[in-house]
Amino acid sequence: MDVQALFKLSYGLYVISAHSGERDYGCIANTLQQVTAEPPRLSVALNRNSVTAKAILESGHFCGTVLTETADLKLIGTFGFQNSEAVDKFAAFSTGTDENGARYLTEHAAARYSCKVVDTLDLGTHLLIVGQVEEAETLSQEPVMTYDYYYRVVKGGTPPTAPSYRGNASAAPQPGKKKQWRCKICGYVYDGDPLPADFVCPICGKGADQFEPV
Ligand SMILES: Cc1cc2nc3c(=O)[nH]c(=O)nc-3n(C[C@H](O)[C@H](O)[C@H](O)COP(=O)(O)O)c2cc1C
């Protein structure tokens, strides 16, 4: 099988969020899509170990937010590489709260959809969650972030928990440029040389052994 052929599929980039108990949960997903129009329903494939997926199943609701091209590695690193039970992922961002209590970003966001879970399909590593849109709102007219833009321009990476995991971004060396080190996990770039042996990536928390020279 030509696994590379799967990389021809195109996606957007979204924050999927939920509120359960006293906590706010959220993660990055590229797998949100509209699956029916009447009534409007969306599906998203979430890793079964994601605490956001558990919060969605507990609360019966989720909110999907469309990211814009202005979303940077700090935002995607926070939501896409960290655990919602370890950090308050929303703390550093402007947010709103939907009618089900789920928080969503109001910056770097083009639209949000508040959904009631109507079906779940167990796919093994992932759960396909289907939600009926109860409320939809346009948040900005900025161009939306695509998966391709994230790889080519933002030069971010994807953790193995994503269904479309394809390894990590690596940039071609630029002669004459000050030496930099890139985190192979999330794409964060450290300016300078040498990279301290005890350096910890501020985005995804991995150590210096996960960095490669740019
Ligand atoms: C670009 C990108 C795309 C991702 N897509 C998905 C996805 O579609 N499904 C998924 O389960 N995780 C996906 N992830 C990984 C989750 O966002 C990540 O595992 C997150 O830390 C889970 O957070 P939580 O444990 O707080 O729920 C993606 C991450 C990135 C950076």
| C-alpha 159 to ligand 1 mean position (Å) | 7
Q: Whose CA is nearest to atom 14 of ligand 1?
A: 162
pLDDT digits (tens, 9 = 90+) for 33-51: 999 999 999 999 999 999 9
- Please tell me what DSSP assigns to residue 200: B
Q: In 3-state terms, what secondary structure has residue 95?
A: strand
Nearest CA to ligand 1 atom 5: 29
pLDDT digits (tens, 9 = 90+) for 144-182: 999 999 988 888 888 889 998 866 544 444 556 678 998
Residue 153, token pair as written in the block = 């321009």
Q: What's the 9 CA to ligand 1 centre distance in angstroms?
A: 17
Question: Alpha-carbon distance 144 to 113, whole Å?
Answer: 15
- Among 102, 85, 86, 103, which residue's Cα sits nearest to residue 94? 103
Rounded to the nearest angstrom, the distance between the alpha carbon of 44 and the centre of ligand 1 is 11
Name, in order, each residue with C-beta under 8 angstroms of 35's C-beta and a sequence gap of 6 or more.
41, 42, 43, 130
The predicted model scores a pTM of 0.89
Helices (H), the chain: 51-59, 73-81, 147-149
Alpha-carbon separation of residue 152 from 29, 117, 157, 171, 201 (angstroms): 18, 33, 10, 9, 21
Ligand 1 atom closest to Cα of residue 47: 11
Domains of the chain, first to last = 10-150 (2.30.110.10), 168-214 (2.20.28.10)
Name the one residue in this structure whose structure tokens are 């814009």.
Answer: 68
Question: Residue 66: pLDDT above 60?
Answer: yes
